[in-house]
Amino acid sequence: MNPVVLWGRQCRRRRLDRGGLTATRRIITLWRRANSYTSTLHDSAGNAVLDVKCHYLQASISGSTLCIGDCAFVKGPEGKANYIGKILEFFETVAGEYYCRVQWFFRAEDTIMEDQAQSHDPRRVFYSDLKDDNALDCIVSKVSIVQVSPCVDNQSKSIPSSQYYYDMKYSQNYSTFSTLEMEDTHAKLQSSQVSSISMKKEDFNKTQKSHVPNKKDLSLLDLYCGCGGMSTGLCLGARGGGVNLVTRWAVDDDEVACESFRMNHPETRVRNETTDDFLELLKEWQKLCKQYVKESEVKDNADAITEFGNGTPDDSAVPPEELEVWKLVDICFGDPNNVRKRCLYFKVRWKGYGPNDDTWEPIEGLGNCNDAIKDFVIEGHKRKILPLPGAVDVVCGGPPCQGISGYNRNREFDEPFKCEKNKQIIVFMDIIQFLRPKYVCMENVLDILKFADATLARYAISRLIGMHYQSKLGIMAAGCYGLPQFRMRVFLLGCHPEEKLPPFPLPTHGAIVKNSCPLAFELNLVGWSDSTAVQLETPIVLEDILSDLPKVGNTEDRDEMPYVKAPQTEFQRYIRTFSSEVQGPKSHAAKSKSKKSKPKLYDHRPLALGNDNYLRVLQIPKKKGANFRDLPGVIVGSDNVAKLDPTKERVLLPSGRPLVLDCVLTYEDGRCLRPFGRLWWDEVVGTVLTCPNIRMQALIHPAQDRLLTVRESARLQGFPDSYRFRGTVKDRYRQIGNAVAVPVGRALGYALAMANLNKTGNDPLMALPPKFAFSHNIEGTP
């Protein structure tokens, strides 16, 4: 058994066969401690494993003297590299056998990074708490390992080839890489060596200015933002924890999702573009700021520049046949006109014309407009229209998952990065490397751990560790945080080495389990240990979120309507009333108006079923567990396979099409219970998907003959009732299905705030405050 337990293997006490480890007899001499004693060592389960006669201070192995505290190579399997460990004890057993107790270091390939380790410095190892006992003749030779201070860049100078170094600790629990406190001076490199390995820390601090966190205001960039579920939740939770986290920038290539984001977060600069173009724009913006921005110029021009996008210039002095640039109002990278080459573009407001006549022009076409460019850059820098390196505190995002999703039948298992969608994880990490935020939060579907041996997840972690960020990986279920939707998702947290790595928030609610995490990643599942006595809140079920909503039909088309009932449950009271937290403080006039007007319910309309499907739904019984198997003409065999009754004539609809579709009979070999499934009051859904498909999913309302509405889907994701969506009905379903569940983001945001305020310990998990899920005032330490 490998003493450095590889990812996914159970950790056990290691026992070695001495006879198979030494090709020649080795000379071993021990120096006894001053006070010898007899004791018994125990394994982690408390079982006696070795009877110890006495301990020793030193051992001479093949002429080389090793002391307690020295590091050594330890014999590995045939054909494999030697292991590396720190010697904690030398001892002799009652049976006259010699052993040493070793605390192990991990090489990169021994961690979750595995195959991605080839991109890391082979001299870099990771400290661990794993210890076990080994036969003394397993030791090969002494090795020098030194601790270096936390690094902030990946440009290192040479380290003597005989040495290894470490700056982080690795734990298999949540695949955690974390910063270590520096040990005493005997364990450090000389100051000259430390500076050569500290990887340009002083350069980084110039751009970062200071890593003392601003307790009152943190800025957030939301990549692949969609309609804003993740950043909304993070900001809500952080504010509840005492940190004012504000989404300054958001980026997505989905136009209607950006419209939804803008409508709910008017204070955020939302950019409708690809992240690839956004990264190129950030690089170009940095160059422009270096060229044009000086503190004195910012101050001198602050009052002279018109607000972006507003106003129409005086055209009295301009001949009507001539066009003159009045000012620049926006910037992008790519080809906004889809007719020219990809490069940097400015949106031009022409003198004598209004905003409707603005055009996008390439920068090389504005060669005589240097003053306009300069004014735009100075004002844009002042207003922070784009983030610069060191100016972003938090970056969050969920790179597209279509390339790894189990619903994709054309996945590239052998070459996962061949798929363009999968390459977005590379772009996401490139943006992290460019901006250097304090904190990172990446979300993805559970399939990222199942697909291609978790290659994409390992890559993401490897990139963070290569940048010397701390990181941890956790699997969280939305149902554990106050929703009737199980929805397991993977979250990768990262932070700068001088920040506190946020813990994962522990569940607040019991959950009705719908699926499980991959066996190899069981140590990443966020949950209470079996040995911990904890009283969780009762699981939230569909009745808790649906019972107050007005009855609507299959063809309902109103975007807004009045509530009919008062809230019936704690969930309903909360989901109706926390809108002010999402959009920030309201003006006095807006507050007065909202008090006078009755609250309205938005988006409570379903995707209308076609006539044939509607007729099928009408025949699904209103009972728990009802689905297509309850339709006339269907029988279920002893093997649980649904099929048509061969003794009866097939039932047809007025259209001439069959009542029972062949596709539902063959779906999952006829064993699936989801097609045309009716949900029930005491149940939960597995996950909200992006496209409601009644032929593959249980989507029918418990008491009404229709699909769940857009608003009901939004409640399943924890969006407040005041949160509105743009686009077609299908667009709205898609945005909601793509979003991170707001309560999960809120729990993560609260944990981030506690870490930022240094109110968390070193445990990988933290308990949330009592009644956290539906509480408006949660500030304070749990």
Dmax over CA atoms of the chain, in Å, equals 105
- Angstrom CA distances, 225 to 260, 269, 376, stand at 10, 12, 26
Q: How would you label 14-27 residue by residue, b for 16+ Cβ within 10 Å and e otherwise?
A: bebeeeebeeeeee
Nearest C-alpha neighbor of 385 from the set 269, 280, 251:
269
Do the strands 176-179 and 124-135 form a parallel or antiparallel pair, or are they unpaired?
Answer: unpaired
Q: 75-100 burial string, b = 16+ CB within 10 Å, else e?
A: bbeeeeebbbbbbebbbbbeeeebbb
Angstrom distance (rounded) from CA 379 to CA 729:
39
Q: Is 528 exposed, middle or buried (0-12, 13-18, 19+ CB in 10 A)?
A: middle
> How far apart are alpha carbons 150 and 167 in whole angstroms?
6
Using an 8 Å Cβ cutoff, are 55 and 90 in contact? yes
Q: What is the 3-state secondary structure (H, E, C) of 649-671?
A: CCCECCCCCECCCHHHHHHHHHC
Give strand ranges (E) for 227-356: 245-252, 269-272, 325-334, 343-350
d(C-alpha 73, C-alpha 164), whole Å: 11
Let me know: does 449 contact 506? Beta carbons within 8 Å.
no
- Comparing C-alpha atoms, which of 663, 635, 630 is closest to residue 647? 635
235: left (phi over 0), alpha (psi -120 to 50) or beta: alpha
* C-alpha to C-alpha distance for 317 and 79, rounded to whole angstroms: 84
State the catalytic residue, choosing from 100, 401, 419, 517: 401
End-to-end CA distance of the chain: 41
Residue 401 annotated as catalytic: yes
User: What is the set of active-site residues?
Assistant: 401
